[in-house]
Amino acid sequence: MAAKNQQTQKPNKRKQFSSTKTDKDGSKSKKPKLLSSTPSSTNPSNKLLKKPFNSSKPKREHPTHSKFKKSESGNDNKELTKRERRIQAKELAEARKKKRKPHYTLEQELASLWEKMRRRNIAKEDRSKLITEALQKMKGKIPEIAGSHVSSRVLQTCVKYCSQIERDAVFSELQPHLLTLSCNAYAVHLVKKMFDAASKKQLAGVISSLRGHVASLLRHMVGSVVIEHAYQLGNATQKQELLMELYSTELHLFKDLASIKESRLIDIILKLDLQKSSVLRHMSSVIQPILEKGIVDHSMIHRILIEYLDIADKSSAADIIQQLSGPLLVRMIHTRDGSKIGMLCVKHGSAKERKKIIKGMKGHISKIAHDQCGCMVLVGIVSMVDDTKLITKIIIRELQTTLKELALDKSARRLLLQLLHPNYSRYLNTDGLASLNLTVPSLSSKNESEIKSKKLSRDEESSKEAAKSDIPEENLDEESTKEVATTDSDTEATESGKSDIPEENLNSAEGGKKDPSLRRRELLVNSGLAENLIDVCIENAEELLTSNFGKEVIFEVAKGGSDGILHPTLDEKLKNLHEAIAELAAKPKSDESEEEHVLENFHSSRTIRKLILDCPAFASSLWKKSLEGKCQLWARGHSSKVVSAFWESSDSKVRKVAKEELQPLVDDGTLKIPETKQSANEN
């Protein structure tokens, strides 16, 4: 019972012990309920009770400690209003910023000036006064404050609108600190602005000052932006000067060697007699950190990679292709050289790497297709990759939702035209066709076969010479092999050592093994793309015919594609398309109408003319619905091209249908036919 009473009384004693607090002057103050405690220095019995409980706790502080004073200040805060507390907190924050930032007051003054000078409706004179005032305040401190997110914006506005003298003064003050500022996240925008506003002499000075730091800046996420901007603004000589540093140690150290005219790396190696293995090692040490960090957006890096792949051995080239195969490649194909790298990765990559490339494009297909350079990578994929199911699932399915936009776009239509009429010089320019045939020399199976054939032919010649001059064949064989090794720079032996790249990657076949016509049919017809494309052409026939770019798509579709790939599967759909075009042509001619008739429009009249000459089925449909008995009306202007096409057609049935009505027009000179075409038809 005694023990039980002690347990029940213990909390009461502790509560009594912590119920009041005695200050220095003996006055008692209350604390919040959760922390209520009363130091009982007056009661000695409480001290005796406290000993067993506080044996492991630190020594109790004196009532004059700062934490007891906090409660007093807390009582003072309660007396302040919310507004006063807010002002007090703001003043405290301002004081802290002044201690932390040495130019805080100056930045505040510049920010107020910036708010005025950046307005659109401000007068030029007022803006120039504000800019002069701001630059006067910043004089001598520009490099120090350029890294601030506030003052860097003020400086950008000043550089944009200030006079040339003021701009030169800012440039001269910033120039010694350009390398430091180039790596600052805020100052980099000011540096780019200065490059844009720099004179030719100033830009040349900046580019020469970057010498020796190109590789280190390219490895920096922010600094790489500055190097790329300088590369884009420079002329051909300045661009070459920036690139030379990345090729070899000799070119990095000796400026005189970098002033040669040759632009291709392989020509530079031959001209300066550099060691190829040394160049490869140096370039690899530059490229690898950049790829590991994922800094692959810049055209300068794309140029280095193209040159590297041109001289790399099998294992090195395969290693680069393996690293780039995937989502990383999507960020590269917006430039001309980046597009070439994408084509090389598709051509020489293994089936697994091609799959990674295509999957990495998921969700970006439409954007890539509309890009001038990126669309060529998609053209390469549909021309080389054999996995048509994967292409249909990721590429074709995403394109089917925007077929109209693709057909009307200058770049995106190339993908559709490549499927309808592959490798046609009218739709793909010389560079486009060349990029489809581009190869990495060390990975090209064609190159290896050429080397072997050269060696065999030389062996045959040497054996014949040996028979004539009685020289041992062994000696001649050795000499011939030496000649092959020296004359062909691409046949140099790779360095000894094992590579981590599997043999499948090293010996990957160029392009695909599947029959191109079968691949086309699977992608165009079996996937349902052609059917949807015909429906789009029927719905938007007039818009496509009168468009500069869409006319080629509707022409190839209405014709049935190259080699008649859409026949006979989609004959019914094609017939509906022919009728839709004929209905447009059958509309009455009206001078009051604002819209131009399809037979009088420049683009549509030429497209319909080509269809008449190349597609007899369309010609007969158009004659019956639109032109029979109306040739006199359409025998002048752009529409005369359409009418004369019936006379010039190589199909005898088409000529026979129209001859009776056209003969009088030809005889009286209303319809003018070239003499060569007229004599050919008569024969």
**pLDDT computed for residue 1 by the predictor:** 44
Average pLDDT over residues 48-75: 48
Instruction: Indicate whether 160 belongs to any domain.
Output: yes
Instruction: Indicate whether 82 belongs to any domain.
Output: no
**DSSP letter at 673?**
-
Least confident of 288-292, 535-539, 665-669: 665-669
Instruction: Indicate whether 671 belongs to any domain.
Output: yes
Q: How many CB atoms lie within 10 A of CB 5?
A: 9
Per-residue H/E/C for 259-288: HCCCCCHHHHHHHHCCCHHHHHHHHHHHHH
Average pLDDT over residues 315-340: 94
Instruction: Indicate whether 71 belongs to any domain.
Output: no
What SS3 class is residue 103?
coil
Model confidence at 505: pLDDT above 70 = no
What pLDDT band is residue 101 in, cutting at 50, 70 and 90?
confident
Model confidence at 508: pLDDT above 80 = no
From CA 205, how far away is CA 200, in angstroms rounded? 9
Instruction: Indicate whether 625 belongs to any domain.
Output: yes
Task: Decide if 101 contacts 142 (C-beta within 8 A).
Answer: no
From CA 585, how far away is CA 617, in angstroms rounded? 16
Instruction: Indicate whether 154 belongs to any domain.
Output: yes
pLDDT tens digits, 409-429: 999 999 999 999 999 999 999
**pLDDT computed for residue 60 by the predictor:** 56
Average pLDDT over residues 519-527: 95
**pLDDT computed for residue 682 by the predictor:** 59
What SS3 class is residue 560?
coil
Q: What contacts 371, CB < 8 A, 6 or more positions away? A: 333, 334, 411
Task: Decide if 362 contacts 330 (C-beta within 8 A).
Answer: no
* Between 42 and 424, residue with greater pLDDT: 424
Instruction: Indicate whether 42 belongs to any domain.
Output: no
Q: What contacts 47, CB < 8 A, 6 or more positions away? A: 40
Model confidence at 68: pLDDT above 60 = no
Model confidence at 27: pLDDT above 50 = no
Average pLDDT, the chain: 81
Total number of domains in the chain: 2
Tokens 């830009």, residue located: 203
Q: Which of 148, 170, 197 is the last residue of a domain?
A: 197
Q: Which of 197, 215, 250 is the last residue of a domain?
A: 197
From CA 317, how far away is CA 312, in angstroms rounded? 6
**pLDDT computed for residue 259 by the predictor:** 66
Which structural domain range is residue 613 located in? 528-680
**DSSP strands (E only) in 262-381:** none
pLDDT tens digits, 258-278: 667 777 888 888 888 889 999
Ranked by mean pLDDT, the top range of 14-28, 97-111, 234-248 is: 234-248
**pLDDT computed for residue 445 by the predictor:** 65
Burial call 24-48: b when 16+ CB within 10 Å, e when fewer: eeeeeeeeeeeeeebbbeeeeebee
Instruction: Indicate whether 310 belongs to any domain.
Output: no
Q: Which of 197, 232, 264 is the last residue of a domain?
A: 197
pLDDT tens digits, 643-653: 999 999 989 99
pLDDT tens digits, 448-497: 444 444 544 555 555 555 454 444 444 434 444 444 333 344 434 333 33
Give the predicted TM-score (pTM) of the model. 0.77
Q: pLDDT over 70 for what percent of the chain?
A: 77
| Segment holding 370, helix H or strand E | helix 365-370
Tokens 């076949």, residue located: 509
pLDDT tens digits, 212-255: 899 999 999 999 999 999 999 999 989 998 998 899 888 877 76
pLDDT tens digits, 155-193: 999 999 999 999 999 999 999 999 999 999 999 999 999
pLDDT tens digits, 569-582: 999 999 999 999 99
Tokens of 202: 């100033």
**pLDDT computed for residue 85 by the predictor:** 86
